Structure 1
Amino acid sequence: MNRFARRRNLDQLKALNALYVDLDWHKTAEWRAQSQDEAEAAILRHVCASNLPAPSMVLRSGRGSALIWLIDEMPPQALPRWQSTMRALGDVFARFGVDRASQEAARIFRLPGSINEKSKRRVRVSGGSAARHDFDALSDEIFQAAGLPTRAEFQLLRAAKRAKRHTNVNPREMPFGLPPAARFRQIRDDLEAIRVAHGGQLSEGLRNTWLHLYATSLTHDPREMSTAE
């Protein structure tokens, strides 16, 4: 699924190329009595209900099913974000018997046309869009489907906690480092970076939180307060 230099060890990882789940639905009480067609149809309905794009490939592995979303090539440095997204993707499909062990970066899948030696069935591609996706956009969709904050929302929450922590600390107990004004200027810089990353305008669900954090940081900058007066 991903590209390695020589061996399939993480220190040999060269590029991340896909997100995927291996679904052992045949092992679950809910789906084991269903046919492959019935289970796969339910899985694809779940994809749609979760507001996720259609998988690039649906692979019938001989017993279960694998969903694969191809992504634009990502560098090895993105591995922590990739791993977080993979955990969230597993949560989205938990009811279909996700094989958590298969969510590692070095995972391989059986080739279409080969025979699964356990089930004696031929592996084949049963569907998929063949599309390749932007990782950041797809990752946000997966986190939303899992009921988790997107990356931008997480940054806002972290900034809010940071602002609240500094607001509630007695100035005499402030740790050494940046003075409060400089610290809150840094928070404003972070908030500006988030706004720019959204094309200069935040979505309606984030706008009030962003404005509250920005206004709070302004109140801790003497230069801004003197200008306001």
Structure 2
Amino acid sequence: MENLKLEETSLDRAKGHVLFHHKQADGWITLARKEKSGAWKQYHYRPEQLASEMSEWLGEDVYFSQNTFYKPQRRIENIRQLRALYVDVDCHLLNFDPAWVVGKLDLEIFQETLPNPNIIIFSGRGLVCIWMLEPVPYKALPLWQAIQNYFCEQLQYVGADTKSIDATRVFRVAGSVNSKNGQEVVVQYRHDYRYVLRDLQGDYLPELAPAQPKKPGRKPKIVHLHNVRNLHYSRLLDLVRLVHLRDYDVQGHRELFCFLYRYWSCCLTDDTADALEQMLEFNSEFKEPLPEREVIRATRSAEKAWIAKSDAKANEEAIAKGYPGAGYNLKNATIIKWLEITTEEQEHLRTIIDGNEKRRRKRVRDKKRVTEKRREQGVVAREEYLEQQKDKTEDKLWQLQQAIERHPKATKAELAKLLGVHRSHLYRLLKQL
């Protein structure tokens, strides 16, 4: 009976954890488990399914996604809601006790340098700090990533893992067991306030939105990094969109698609292992995927280029040669040429577009602004104007008919005067009778 009670208690803790985290969530949530064989098993559930499915999962090494996805596929381009920020602290690598680390962070970091986390997961050997967010959509990912990176940097001195900060990350579930030491995962709930991402930006990363007017010169480093990350994410989404537009038939361009996907993923998440894993899944969706060993080998230079991009010496050498820096600084024209992107396809993309498409979009925007300005000034739309003129014409025709019946001997000049119109307009009306 005691074992049964323990199992029930663990299950309750697991349900409470995932339901607290994903309260009123929208999208798919990943549950995952690392099997004893080393294989990774994962399935995706709607929020309302989690409680009923948890009993089938609870045991050793069980994880769940911190954010949700718009389809049952744990990939960065499928993010639906960003629901939390998190830092995985591997304090055991520094021989720090997790409870001691929490006390240290309460004294030195929380409330001053960083806000107080909602949840702290004691994962068996380390801990994970979780800050719950008012959900934001995928478009906020670059800002989310910038804040995520900043939070992680503040906790590096106690063992924060810089490789566990991507938006698709999964963490251990309360009530499950860490097979590495047999410890049950425990969660400490601190408060249920959900932070607003923009407020966190303003309070802790004001450099991302300078209050002062723009001045000539180089942008602050953190602003530059945020803008670059935004570009990488937009390009990655364009890449996925392009494959979809081609119905996943990208024969002849498969290596290029995978190379760019891997490189931009590295730039976005700073996680080479996750970028490789997601690139392999991206490749698997092609109508004719490349063999795994072949695609890994063919795209290895993407990872090397990203590593060079973060290397000061490599950047100096690249700048000396006339390049903006190390890594691949690809122009849109180059990408369009490589992937043979058509004019029609560019209309569906966000950033990988040429000058003609930019000008077309500007014309559309300008026309929309002019139309909106005319509305504000009381100028009606053409369709509405024509309808009004039609009503006026029908009214004048009725008046003309009445005038002719009442004054059958009136001249055209007299009829025009009676209606209050020019004689030429009267002639047009007479033709319509």
> TM range, normalised to the smaller chain?
0.5 to 0.7
In 2: Cα distance, 1:97 partner to 1:156 partner: 36
- For the residue of structure 1 that corresponds to 2:84, the secondary structure is strand
Describe the SS at the equivalent of 2:83. Answer: strand
Deviation at 1:50, TM superposition (A): 2.9
Alignment-derived partner of residue 27 in structure 1: 93
Match of 1:89 in 2: 151
Tell me the percent identity. Answer: 28
Contact 2:85–2:130 at 8 Å: present in 1 too? yes
TM-score in terms of structure 1 length: 0.61
Q: Which runs of 4+ in 1 moved over 6 A?
A: none
Task: Provide Cα deviations, 1:162-186, integer angstroms capped at 9, x if missing partner.
Answer: 69xxxxxxxxxxxxxxxxxxxxxxx
| Letter of the 2:131 counterpart | W
Specify the SS of the correspondent of 2:140.
helix
Deviation at 1:151, TM superposition (A): 2.7
Distance 1:43 1:62, change over 3 A: same
Could you tell me which amino acid in structure 1 is paired with residue 216 of structure 2? K
Q: Distance in 1 between matches of 2:109 and 2:181?
A: 26
The residue aligned with 2:207 is 150
Q: Does the 8 A contact of 1:58 with 1:67 survive in 2?
A: yes
Deviation at 1:49, TM superposition (A): 5.9
Matched, 1:57 2:119: yes
Gaps of 5+ in 1: 144-148, 164-229
Q: Are the counterparts in 1 of residues 118 and 131 from structure 2 also a CA contact under 8 Å?
A: yes
Tell me how far apart the structure 2 counterparts of residues 65 and 142 of structure 1 sit (CA, whole Å). Answer: 22
Task: Write the mapping of 1:43-192 to structure 2, written as runs, cut at 5 A.
Answer: 43-48=105-110, 50-143=112-205, 149-153=206-210, 156=212, 159-161=214-216
Mark the CA change 1:48 to 1:12 in structure 2 (over 3 Å): closer, same or farther: closer
Secondary structure of 1:141's match? helix
- TM-score (ref. length: structure 2): 0.33
1: CA distance between counterparts of 2:203 and 2:88?
A: 19
Answer with 1 or 2: which has the greater Rg: 2
Counterpart AA for 1:10: I
| Pair 1:92–1:141, CA change in 2 (3 A) | farther
| Alpha-carbon separation, structure 1, partners of 2:155 and 2:185 | 21
Deviations 1:120-168 (A, max 9, x none): 111011242122111111233332xxxxx43322x647x11269xxxxx
Report which stretch shifted further, 131-140 or 75-84. Answer: 131-140
**Which residue matches 2:60?**
none
**Within 2, Cα distance between the matches of 1:65 and 1:139?**
24
Return the alpha-carbon distance in structure 1 between the equivalents of residues 133 and 123 of structure 2: 21
Cα deviation, 1:11-49, whole Å, max 9, x if unaligned, reads 211110100100011212xxx1x4332122112223336
The whole-number CA distance in structure 1 between the counterparts of 2:163 and 2:191 is 26
SS in 2 for 1:133: coil
Q: Distance in 2 between matches of 1:120 and 1:141?
A: 40
The answer for unaligned runs of 5 or more in structure 2 is: 1-65, 219-433
For residues 177 and 216 of structure 2, the distance between their equivalents in structure 1, rounded to whole angstroms, comes to 53
Amino acid corresponding to residue 123 of structure 2 in structure 1: S
Number of equivalenced pairs: 152
Of 84, 102, 107, the match for 1:40: 102
